[in-house]
Amino acid sequence: MSKPLLSVVITVYNEEENIRPLLEATYSALSEIDYEVILIEDGSTDATVAEVKKYANERTKLIIFNKNFGQTTALAAGIDMAEGEYIATMDGDLQNDPTDIPGMLQKAMDEDWDVVAGKRAKRKDGFVLRKFPSKIANWIIRNSTKVYLSDYGCTLRVYKAHIAQNMGLYGELHRFIPVLAKQQGAKMTEVDVKHHPRIHGTSKYGLSRTFKVMADLILMLFFQKYFQRPIHLFGGLGLLSFLLGLAINFYLLVLKILGEDIWGRPIMILGFILILGGIQLITTGIIAEIIVRTYFESQHKKTYTIKSVFQGGEQDK
């Protein structure tokens, strides 16, 4: 059997009332495309699995988790299973509209984009609990990572398969997928997509996610700048701390030579702390460098990705 052009990955969790309209809308929207649909059931406690089995067609795969692992892990599983040349991701709550997918796919194919991201132009969510925190998070992520997309929270995106399947999704990094794609050199664009209010079920998001997003942002900034060279971060901070400590202790030594009593001064304690902290940071940087080399070399991973290879007289590979 030939591979489909498009794999649509949809994560569902306690969405029993949404399954039938979701699948009907998706099948209708993709009727002119060679597609497959992959649903990842993320440990639902309702009848979601039964509903999928009832209404799924022959082009649909259902991956059932034995417990709730979270949206990032569910997306990663679906992307791993995808066989299409392009991969689309979408939420299963009917707020994303599958009729946007064909146009996004066509744009990716015609203009050779690696990622076409959806932007919810008229978002149908509450302002205080959803839209306002999202605007703040988007602004922080955009200006911190220098990946300039308007809507990091929109799951509706279309990717070239080789980009999606090499992002390395862990933890709760689904909001940072554009940043992970950019690290591979992906060409990205953004298009307006439709957004509908939730009719059935309850939202799985809230203000409690804000602190998780901020913690993940720190991790993403580390990945962006120092993942392959952690000694530049830890070593730089360590040297700065060590030199400041030395300067403080040299100053105190001069005072001691001049006959002043320096014992018990807080600045002396600070000097020792800075020296010890500097040594620890430098040591951490060296250990992190060893870990990075082990990560790449033990798994035969490369520190680069090749988009294509051209040999004169032959077609692109």
**DSSP code of 182?**
H
Q: Where are the alpha helices (DSSP H) in 112-207?
A: 132-145, 161-164, 177-183
Instruction: Express each pLDDT in 229-267 by its tens digit.
Output: 888 889 989 999 999 999 999 999 999 888 888 887 889
- For the beta carbon of residue 293, count every other beta carbon within 10 angstroms: 12
Both tokens of 86, joined, read: 């392009």
What does each C-alpha distance from 71 to 9, 25, 172, 180, 190 come to in angstroms? Answer: 11, 22, 7, 16, 22
What is the structure's pLDDT at 251?
92
Strand-pairing partners, residue 37, are 8, 60
- pTM for the whole thing? 0.73
The amino acid sitting at 167 is M
On the question of pLDDT at 3 being above 60, the answer is yes
Q: Give percent of the chain above pLDDT 70.
A: 86
More confident residue, 210 or 165: 165
Surface-to-core class of residue 284, CB atoms within 10 Å of its CB (0-12 exposed, 13-18 middle, 19+ buried): middle
**Cβ-contact 118, 194 below 8 angstroms:** no
Instruction: Express each pLDDT in 200-232 by its tens digit.
Output: 656 555 555 666 777 777 777 787 778 778 888
Distance in angstroms (rounded) separating the CA atoms of residues 195 and 193: 7
On the question of pLDDT at 28 being above 70, the answer is yes
Distance in angstroms (rounded) separating the CA atoms of residues 138 and 23: 30
- The answer for residues whose C-beta is within 8 angstroms of residue 154's C-beta and 6 or more apart is 96, 117, 118, 119, 120, 193, 195
On the question of pLDDT at 317 being above 50, the answer is no
Distance in angstroms (rounded) separating the CA atoms of residues 77 and 121: 29
Three-class SS state of 61:
strand
Per mean pLDDT, which range of 91-95, 240-244, 296-300 is the poorest? 296-300
